């Protein structure tokens, strides 16, 4: 399509909406409007979401903060954009933080594309992305990275600079993209602007702060992302409709949650349909759980264990938030109706399991799945904010894997800022039961863990279904799947407080298809 035709379309759509047309050819910028970078995500075999959001400094300099701006997107077969596969114009509006979501449909499966955005005289950097293979395609390989927990002040995103070279098909982000905390000086290596965030404007600027990082921008531009969230995208330890514990309580927690969810939409390559109810004022819910096949080789699931969960059980003194509890002093933790995913998501997941014919079934969810007993003195001490606080829900999930004869379950997690590797048990009360899957809970990109090696060694001894734990390293994991084998490589940076840190392989594991057994390589 010719540039002149695009201009006509831009003008026409603005006119149709009764909005002032900000001429895409006329607008010049004294500040780069693409200062927050670009991204692609939510890949399927025939669609992708292309994302950008115009930076506030550029909008302010151009006196456009309250005005809509027409942004052209281009998806091409080549880096020169001489063979355009799809193009269009999106109006970036102040109502949605001047975010741009181009939902491109009708694409070819398993194909690499280049993309970019144009606003007036400004052209963004070029991103690379790819669609997934067709659901019935025989696929030999899938390489994905999983990452979580990128507290701004705790470190730099050097891990992402190393991830660039991993030759991935997709990045799975498992939560805590932002934290609602203020700076904690002198510990932090870089200042978090904006203090405690509780409002839409606050969440928007916190995302803008993160999106200003060049390593984060580069990894978004390099691969499509599949994303879910955890608590800190809203507030530490929040549980469904219940406020968590951090900062001063707000007057209306659900208004805060809506604002945070909207800001998540505005800053992530996700579909409008998933957030439509929320964005059109029809409800509080936003749907981030999803499932997408990668040929016959794998199905990737992203789960949401925050939005629909029951309150944590037995946190002392009626406080909100998390605690370590001993189930023998906490009858309510074992209540059979307790839910972490909510009824609708649980039912949906069981239906997906029942129809999956995939060789591997990879669940991207927030946190450690297997039981972790912290006690050093016998007895039990369990963290009530993760699956250990919802044992009946965990049992329903593993039962559903068994009943549907789910092929090769692989559970990926984050949240705890530590690497944990092990076997998924059908019954965590019976350490001798057979493993039904494998688990890789990833460490953080930057966020810190306070656990000592001695404590970790004791925890491994207490919980023999895990075979590896490490709390000292920041980094990410890479999972490579073939029809025969899974290989997981844990990559760590030497020092996340050093923006130029080198990386190393912390550990490597293999799982043969058909055997729920993790082997150290
Ligand atoms: Fe975290
Ligand atoms: Ca978390």
**443 C-alpha vs ligand 1 centroid, how far in Å?**
9
Task: Pinpoint the alpha helices (H) of 212-267.
Answer: 214-222, 253-267
- How remote is the CA of residue 512 from the centroid of ligand 2, in Å? 31
Cα 415 to middle of ligand 2, angstroms: 4
The Å distance, Cα 179 to ligand 2 centre, comes to 9
Alpha carbons 216 and 37: distance in angstroms, whole number: 9
pLDDT for the residue 61: 98
DSSP codes joined into one string, 356-401: ---SEEEEE-SS--S-----SSSS--EETTSGGG-HHHHHHHHHHH
Instruction: Give the tokens for residue 101.
Output: 């979501």
My answer on whether omega of the bond before 240 falls inside 30° of 0, hence cis, is: no
CA of 237, nearest ligand number: 2
Which residue has tokens 């904006």? 194
Secondary structure letter of residue 234 according to DSSP: T
| Integer Cα distance of 51 and 99 in angstroms | 7
Which secondary-structure segment (H or E) carries 4?
helix 3-16
**How many whole angstroms from 175 Cα to the centroid of ligand 1?**
7
Give the closest ligand to the alpha carbon of residue 238.
2
Ligand with minimal distance to 443 CA: 1
Q: How far is the CA of 150 from the centre of ligand 1 (A)?
A: 7
Q: How many residues does the chain have?
A: 521
pLDDT at residue 13, as a whole number? 47
The ligand minimizing its distance to the Cα of 306 is: 2
Ligand nearest, relative to CA of residue 147: 1
How many secondary structure helices (H) and strands (E) does the chain include?
Answer: 10, 24
Q: Which ligand is nearest to the CA of 150?
A: 1
pLDDT at 318 (0 to 100): 83
Contacts (Cβ under 8 Å, ≥6 apart) of 284: 241, 254, 257, 258, 278
CA of 445 to the centre of ligand 1 (A): 9
What's the 322 CA to ligand 2 centre distance in angstroms? 11
Q: Which of 349, 514, 364 is nearest to 439 (CA)?
A: 364
* Nearest partner of 236 among 327, 330, 312, judged by Cα: 312
The enclosing H or E element of 102 equals strand 99-104
Measured in angstroms, how far is the CA atom of residue 508 from the centroid of ligand 1?
23
Q: Quote the tokens at residue 284.
A: 């509080």
What tokens appear for 381 in the block?
């001490």
- Going from the Cα of 347 to the center of ligand 2, the distance in angstroms, rounded, reads 24
How many A from CA of 248 to the centre of ligand 1? 20
What pLDDT was estimated at residue 16? 45
Residue-by-residue DSSP string for 283-342: -S-----EEEEETTTEEEEE--SSTTPPPPS--GGG-SS--EE-GGG-GGGG-TT--SS-
Task: Count CB-CB contacts under 10 A for residue 95.
Answer: 12
Distance between CA 159 and CA 143 in Å, rounded? 17
Ligand 2 center to 50 CA (angstroms): 27
pLDDT of the residue at 25: 54
Residue 185: per-residue pLDDT: 77
| Ligand 2 midpoint to CA 148 (Å) | 9
Q: What is the pLDDT of residue 431?
A: 86
Q: What is the CA radius of gyration of the chain?
A: 23
Cβ contacts of 498 within 8 Å, gap of 6 or more: 156, 158
Question: Sign (positive/negative) of CA torsion 25, 27, 29, 33?
Answer: negative
User: Cα of 241 to ligand 2 centre, how many Å?
Assistant: 16
pTM for this prediction: 0.95
Return the pLDDT at 18.
43
Contact 474, 493 (CB under 8 A): yes
Task: Please give the Cα distance from 13 to 10 (Å, whole number).
Answer: 5
Per-residue confidence in pLDDT tens, the chain, 521 aa: 344 444 444 444 444 444 444 544 579 999 999 999 999 999 999 999 999 999 999 999 999 999 999 999 999 999 999 999 999 999 999 999 999 999 999 999 999 999 999 999 999 999 999 999 999 999 999 999 999 999 999 999 999 999 999 999 999 999 999 999 999 877 899 999 999 999 999 999 999 999 999 999 999 999 999 999 999 999 999 999 999 999 999 999 999 999 999 999 999 999 999 999 999 999 999 999 999 999 999 999 999 999 999 999 999 988 889 999 999 999 999 999 999 999 999 999 999 999 999 999 999 999 999 999 999 888 999 999 999 999 999 999 999 999 999 999 999 999 999 999 999 999 999 989 999 999 999 999 999 998 999 999 999 999 999 999 999 999 999 999 999 999 999 999 999 999 999 999 999 999 999 999 999 99
How far, in Å, are 51, 269, 275, 288, 355 from residue 272 at the CA level? 12, 10, 5, 11, 26
């Amino acid at each position: 399509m010719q540039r002149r035709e695009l201009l006509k379309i831009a003008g026409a759509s603005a006119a149709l909406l009764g909005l002032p047309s900000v001429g895409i050819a006329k607008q010049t910028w004294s500040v780069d409007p693409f200062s927050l970078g670009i991204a692609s995500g939510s890949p399927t075999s025939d669609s992708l979401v292309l994302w950008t959001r115009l930076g506030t400094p550029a909008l302010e300099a151009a006196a456009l903060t309250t005005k809509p701006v027409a942004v052209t997107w281009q998806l091409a077969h080549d880096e020169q954009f001489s063979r355009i596969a799809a193009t269009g114009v999106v109006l970036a509006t102040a109502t949605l933080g001047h975010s741009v979501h181009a939902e491109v449909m009708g694409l070819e499966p398993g194909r690499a594309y280049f993309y970019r955005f144009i606003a007036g005289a400004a052209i963004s950097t070029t991103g690379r992305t790819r669609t997934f293979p067709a659901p019935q395609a025989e696929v030999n390989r899938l390489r994905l990275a999983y990452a979580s927990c990128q507290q701004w002040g705790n470190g730099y995103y050097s891990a992402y600079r190393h991830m660039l070279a991993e030759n991935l098909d997709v990045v799975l982000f498992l939560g805590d993209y932002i934290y609602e905390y203020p700076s904690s000086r002198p510990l932090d290596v870089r200042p978090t602007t904006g203090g405690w965030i509780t409002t839409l404007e606050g969440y928007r600027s916190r995302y803008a702060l993160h999106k200003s990082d060049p390593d984060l921008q580069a990894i978004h531009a390099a691969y499509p992302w599949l994303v879910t969230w955890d608590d800190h995208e809203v507030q530490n330890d929040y549980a469904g409709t219940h406020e968590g514990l951090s900062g001063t309580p707000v007057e209306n927690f659900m208004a805060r949650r809506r604002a945070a969810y909207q800001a998540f939409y505005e800053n992530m390559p996700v579909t409008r349909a998933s957030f439509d109810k929320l964005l059109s004022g029809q409800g509080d819910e936003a749907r981030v759980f999803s499932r997408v096949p990668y040929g016959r080789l794998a199905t990737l699931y992203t789960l949401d264990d925050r939005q629909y969960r029951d309150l944590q059980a037995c946190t002392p003194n009626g406080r909100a938030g998390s605690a370590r509890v001993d189930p023998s002093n906490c009858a309510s933790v074992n209540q059979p109706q307790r839910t972490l995913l909510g009824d609708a998501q649980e039912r949906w997941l069981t239906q997906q399991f029942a129809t999956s014919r995939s060789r591997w079934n990879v669940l991207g969810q927030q946190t450690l799945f297997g039981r972790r007993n912290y006690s050093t003195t016998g007895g039990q001490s369990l963290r009530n904010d993760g699956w250990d606080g919802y044992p009946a829900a965990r049992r329903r999930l593993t039962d559903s894997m068994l009943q549907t004869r789910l092929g090769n379950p692989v559970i990926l997690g984050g949240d705890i800022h530590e690497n944990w590797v092990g076997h998924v048990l059908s019954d965590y009360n019976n350490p001798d039961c057979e493993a039904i899957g494998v688990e890789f809970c990833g460490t953080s990109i930057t966020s810190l863990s306070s656990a000592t090696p001695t404590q970790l060694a004791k925890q491994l001894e207490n919980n023999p279904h895990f075979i590896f734990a490490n709390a000292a390293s920041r980094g990410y994991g890479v999972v490579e799947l073939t029809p025969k084998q899974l290989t997981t490589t844990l990559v760590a940076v030497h020092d996340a407080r050093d923006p130029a840190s080198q990386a190393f392989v912390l550990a490597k594991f293999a799982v043969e298809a058909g055997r729920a057994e993790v082997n150290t390589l």
